[in-house]
Amino acid sequence: MIEAKKIRFSEAVSGLYKRTQIECNHRQTFLKDLADSIGGYRAAKKILGNKKYLIGIASLKNYNRLDLSVEALVVDPQWEGIFTKRQLEVARERLSQYGFGTNTTELPIATPPMVEAPKPQIPVAEVAPVAALKSSFN
């Protein structure tokens, strides 16, 4: 159960990178490279364990999107049980330090994952008249 949750968390970290790129037009290459090399769960633990890794949360502050930070993901209740009390404290302290929750434009911590919208289908009835019109000019 815990191992499966860690795997899902790692997938969520990958989702953070993708969402940040799409929603903010910002690439967190450090996070991506670290997660690709050691996995998202271990990357989050490493980020929480060292103050030199504040660049991710600091850059997201510039976009008012701390909800896309590793720290915000860590404190999400769905990941309860895979982080130590100290790691959770560090994540909360950092979020507080950068003002998470004080900006009313920020999204809540538990934001839904991005889902790709289905491509619209054009009914044949709408395509056929256009084709007939084109052929009348030939």
What's the one-letter identity of residue 103? Answer: N
* pLDDT, tens digit (0-9, with 9 covering 90-100), for 13-57: 999 999 999 999 999 999 999 999 999 999 999 999 998 888 888
pTM, full prediction: 0.70
Residue 24, class by beta-carbon neighbours within 10 Å (0-12 exposed, 13-18 middle, 19+ buried)?
middle
* pLDDT, tens digit (0-9, with 9 covering 90-100), for 75-134: 999 999 999 999 999 999 999 999 886 543 444 444 444 445 455 555 555 555 555 555
In whole angstroms, give the CA distance from residue 135 to residue 123: 19
